[in-house]
Chains A and B, each alone.
Chain A
Amino acid sequence: MRCSPELLNAYVDGELDEPQRRLVEEHVRRCPRCSAEAAELRALKTVPAAAAAARAPLGPDEEPRRIAGIVGRVRFREAKRQRERTKKRFWQGAALGGAAAAVLVGAVVTSLTVFGPGTPFGAGGPDQDEQVYAAALQAVVAEHSRVALLMDMGVDDWADWPWLGWEDEP
């Protein structure tokens, strides 16, 4: 074989397969230039290795501080993700609750229509008013329990949620 600096590097690094390695070894034995070069490469390799070993270490608190910085961000992200999950579960719950409320409203409307169209509210007599109030009360209770559920789930900013609309209503 002819002199090949690339193969020589790989040879010095122990990165040749056995047949190739034997070939280069044989060449190095006969070629004074490659023999000298191989020796020099071995020596040269130790310079970056020694420099790596001599790497100025980070200060005593510096590495833990940096790691804490990274982990802190991940923790924050993880907490946020957890909350997203909770919210999603909540919205799914809210959708179910909404369906129940629709049934309730449907019941009220039905009860009103029983007394005929155009009947003004209250005209159905005390019985009917009571029914409507009971329905409203039930809705409020449902709302309350939903908030309680939210709080149990650790959702602490439920009050900011516009759909609750409590700020707007007296």
Chain B
Amino acid sequence: MRRSGGGERRAGGGRRPHQRIQSLIDRALTGDVRAFETLVTEHYGPVHAYAARMVGGQAAEDVAQDVFLRVYRSLHTFRGDASFTTWLFRITHNVCNDYRRRMQREPALRLDGPAPGDDTRSAGQALAAAGEGAGENPELRLESLELHETVQRALMKLSEKHRAVLVLHDMHGFRYDEIKHIVGCSLGTVRSRLHYARRALRQILEEELRGELASLLEERPGRQGAAGGPAPA
């Protein structure tokens, strides 16, 4: 359960993708654009998702592009002692911060649109775009998209620092010591931010959903007995 969000960053590769990733990086460094393309293809989804959660869906495409261009420029600085994903997310995190700072300085640049957190499209549009939803019940699909949007709205109400750790941990499945590197803070800070972030998220969801949160929490599968420790990962 503690890794429930982890699938999103573990794209393409088994338990030890290090060597494969490293050889792709080595090839990209010699100017092999195809190797770089593979790296982008395998990591675009999570990077874009994180950007959408941090700066909103409108800007996420630009941010993701900027991230990968920066990655290309600085591939030679990657040291194998960090995991590539952690390194990549550190860059993503920094690009998101830069973007936000730029927007604060020059609000005119802001892509106009609805509230900063909203994803590019409404649930209905997204549903239409996702189309046939691979045979999924459209009602269920719409419901899950609504959940996604509700959470996204709530996330955007958190402070950036709280949002970052919560998104990295609960949505992308990073561990505390990885988040420490991505965000550039201490382990204790990760811990305390996560605590405050969850408390705030709970409060926001409560307001947003009024009485529904309790039932939402009840309905979620995977709930464990109160006293049992976390299942070993």
Residues of A at under 8 Å CB distance from B?
5-15, 21, 25, 28-29, 35-36, 38-60, 62-63, 66-67, 69-71, 73-75, 77-78, 81-82
Contact = CB atoms under 8 A, between A and B. Distances in A.
B229 A15 contact: no
Interface string B163-185: 00011011110011000000000
The B interface is mostly helix, strand or loop, or mixed, namely: helix
Contacts of B7: 53
A24 B193 CA distance: 19
Contact of B44 (A6, A35, A66): A66
Interface of B: 1-2, 4-5, 7-8, 31, 33, 36-37, 40-41, 44-45, 48-49, 61, 64-65, 68-69, 72, 119, 121, 123, 126-127, 129-131, 144-145, 147-148, 150-152, 155, 166-167, 169-172, 175-176, 191-192, 194-195, 198-199, 201-202, 205, 216-218, 220-227, 229-233
Contact of A46 (B45, B121, B166, B222): B222
A49 B3 CA distance: 9
Given A46-B220, A66-B64, A74 B33 contact: yes
Contacts of B2: 12-14, 45
B33 A48 contact: no
A60 B134 CA distance: 12
Nearest to A7: B191
